[in-house]
């Protein structure tokens, strides 16, 4: 037998792989992909908090604001997951937790197979990944207390069949809440406390490889993430925090045709995390309950608001957007 005529060596029966990775998403690879911040939400990744929140007894040591009641935190997290399901969104869990009720409970069901507790901030999944139309860019959190969270998310993405295009390496740091789709082929990428210049350069390089323009901007001192300063409620509607957006950010929003409006109440933004919402679809959001001034402002813009109580989880210094890793949005 002449081996060179066999399929294994490119002979008769050889079938070349001509499809792109993007074309293989949902077929060879698991369904995933994001091209905007406002198109219909289809799938999210969450981590239901558990006994790791015991560490919040010394909140400043774990980058939190106050001790958390674990049962109440779990109940609020379950309510957020329920709100997503009611909106037709598929909910995946980092630890593959079983179906949960809204009854407050403390469970070890979400522990890694080794039995070790995950790091205490692991519920803030948005920081650990950034989704593209071809798969995820894996974050590398900026603080020692969060080191290793990305390993758990990487394992779950692999289980779901989602490509990991790049893991930030070296001394680079990158948290996914510092990147946002401003258009279908353009991303705002913020440098600051959580994403350093090296990490931003690595993320920008990867995005440029897949044909995405990257607009790098800087965050002012005293801010955490771009997500905390800017959100998108629709294709042409951005909502910002006054005095916290750079001129370059505002110019980019204008260049891409966004109308920018500013939050009406600083107290609700600070204490109620009123800007920390997730867009379910054009002018449909899920936001923290207890922000009447901001909710009325949103509704005046034609936005339908679904509210979820978040006051216990907010003690950990994050809100609905921070808790939610976006796996898939409609790309039509």
**CATH label of the domain that carries residue 96:** 3.75.10.10
Looking at the 3D structure of the chain, how many domains does it have? 1
For residue 172, pLDDT over 80 is answered with yes
User: Average pLDDT in the 298-319 region?
Assistant: 98
Name the residue range of residue 69's domain: 29-329
Q: Poorest-confidence range of 69-78, 99-108, 261-270?
A: 99-108
Residue 116 lies in a domain: yes
pLDDT at 3: 78
Confidence class of residue 99 from pLDDT cuts 50, 70 and 90?
Answer: very low
For residue 331, pLDDT over 80 is answered with yes
E-strand spans in the chain? Answer: 41-46, 90-93, 129-132, 135-138, 164-167, 179-183, 186-191, 213-218, 230-234, 237-240, 259-262, 278-281, 284-288, 304-308, 325-329
pLDDT tens for each residue of 250-297: 999 999 999 999 999 999 999 999 999 999 999 999 999 999 999 999
pLDDT at 109: 41
Q: What is the three-class DSSP state of 328? A: strand
Enumerate residues 6+ apart whose C-beta is below 8 A from 77. 46, 48, 49, 123, 313, 323
State the chain's mean pLDDT as an integer: 93
For residue 158, pLDDT over 80 is answered with yes
For residue 315, pLDDT over 60 is answered with yes
The pTM (predicted TM-score) of the whole model is 0.93
For residue 115, pLDDT over 80 is answered with no
Length of the chain: 332
Residue 297 lies in a domain: yes
pLDDT at 24: 96
Residue 13 lies in a domain: no
Confidence class of residue 111 from pLDDT cuts 50, 70 and 90?
Answer: very low
For residue 225, pLDDT over 80 is answered with yes
Confidence class of residue 103 from pLDDT cuts 50, 70 and 90?
Answer: very low
Confidence class of residue 104 from pLDDT cuts 50, 70 and 90?
Answer: very low
Q: What is the three-class DSSP state of 160? A: coil
Q: Where are the alpha helices (DSSP H) in 9-50?
A: 21-24
User: Average pLDDT in the 135-152 region?
Assistant: 97
Residue 10 lies in a domain: no
- The C-alpha atoms of residue 126 and residue 181 are separated, in whole angstroms, by 14
- The C-alpha atoms of residue 2 and residue 21 are separated, in whole angstroms, by 33
pLDDT at 112: 52
pLDDT at 222: 87
Pick from 121, 120, 94, 321: nearest CA to 225: 321
Residue 17 lies in a domain: no
Residue 12 lies in a domain: no
User: Average pLDDT in the 181-198 region?
Assistant: 97
Residue 24 lies in a domain: no
Count of CB atoms situated within 10 Å of the CB of 230: 25
Confidence class of residue 5 from pLDDT cuts 50, 70 and 90?
Answer: confident
User: Average pLDDT in the 317-327 region?
Assistant: 98
pLDDT: is 332 or 3 the higher one? Answer: 3
Residue 19 lies in a domain: no
For residue 98, pLDDT over 90 is answered with no
């Amino acid at each position: 037998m002449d081996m060179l005529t066999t399929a294994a060596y490119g002979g008769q029966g050889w079938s070349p792989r001509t499809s792109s990775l993007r074309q293989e998403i949902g077929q060879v690879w698991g369904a995933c992909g994001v091209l905007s911040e406002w198109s219909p939400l289809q799938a999210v990744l969450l981590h239901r908090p558990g006994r790791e929140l015991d560490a919040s007894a010394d909140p400043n040591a774990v980058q939190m604001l106050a001790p958390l009641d674990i049962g109440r935190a779990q109940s609020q997290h379950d309510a957020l997951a329920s709100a997503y399901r009611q909106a037709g969104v598929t909910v995946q869990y980092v630890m593959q937790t079983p179906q949960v009720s809204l009854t407050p409970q403390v469970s070890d069901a979400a522990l890694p197979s080794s039995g070790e507790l995950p790091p205490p901030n692991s519920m803030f999944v948005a920081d650990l990944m950034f989704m593209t139309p071809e798969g995820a860019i894996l974050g590398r959190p900026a603080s020692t207390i969060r080191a290793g969270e990305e390993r758990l998310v990487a394992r779950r993405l692999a289980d779901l069949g989602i490509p990991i295009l790049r893991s930030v390496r070296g001394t680079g740091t990158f948290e996914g809440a510092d990147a946002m789709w401003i258009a279908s082929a353009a991303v705002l990428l913020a440098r600051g406390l959580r994403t350093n210049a090296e990490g931003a350069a690595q993320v920008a390089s990867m995005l440029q490889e897949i044909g995405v323009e990257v607009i790098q901007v800087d965050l002012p001192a005293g801010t955490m993430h771009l997500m905390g300063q800017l959100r998108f409620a629709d294709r042409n509607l951005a909502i910002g925090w006054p005095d916290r957006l750079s001129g370059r950010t505002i110019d980019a929003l204008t260049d891409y045709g966004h109308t920018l409006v500013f939050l009406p109440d600083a107290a609700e933004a600070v204490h109620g995390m009123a800007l920390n919402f997730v867009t379910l679809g054009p002018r449909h959001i899920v936001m923290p309950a207890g922000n009447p001034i901001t909710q009325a402002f949103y509704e005046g813009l034609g936005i339908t608001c679904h509210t979820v109580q978040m006051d216990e989880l907010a003690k950990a210094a994050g809100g609905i957007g921070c808790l939610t890793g976006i796996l898939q949005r409609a790309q039509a």
